[in-house]
């Protein structure tokens, strides 16, 4: 997941540099008044989102598989703990009934 996040951040930074260069050179319009920095960031976010969606598809799928495996492992551990508690409780009940 960290790898995907860093790759996504890299795509955003790349887009930010390109958009900043385009605004600075006059290819893209400047923001109104003091909003130029916000304009550049928002435009970079808008451009980087579909690029990340397409380019990082395999990495996103790999990260989702890892997260799903981790969740399944945690569920299995919870079920194992629950069954251990049930076994101890059943043993205590049967010993309590025979005593």
**Phi and psi dihedrals of 29, rounded to 5?**
-70, 150
Separation CA 5–CA 30 (nearest Å): 29
The structure tokens 């799903």 sit at 68
Residue pLDDT tens, the chain, 99 long: 888 899 999 999 999 999 999 988 888 888 766 678 888 999 999 999 999 999 999 998 998 898 999 999 999 888 877 777 666 667 777 777 655
Contact (CB, 8 A) for 91 and 55: no
Predicted model pTM: 0.65
Separation CA 87–CA 80 (nearest Å): 11
């Amino acid at each position: 997941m960290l790898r995907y996040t860093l790759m996504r951040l890299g795509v955003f930074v790349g887009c930010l540099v390109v958009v900043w260069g385009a605004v600075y050179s006059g290819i893209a319009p400047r923001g109104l008044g003091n909003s130029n920095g916000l304009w550049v960031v928002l435009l970079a976010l808008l451009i980087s989102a579909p690029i990340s969606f397409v380019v990082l598809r395999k990495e996103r799928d790999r990260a989702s598989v890892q997260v799903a495996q981790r969740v399944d492992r945690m569920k299995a551990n919870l079920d194992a703990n629950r069954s251990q508690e049930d076994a101890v409780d059943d043993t205590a009940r049967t010993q309590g009934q025979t005593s």
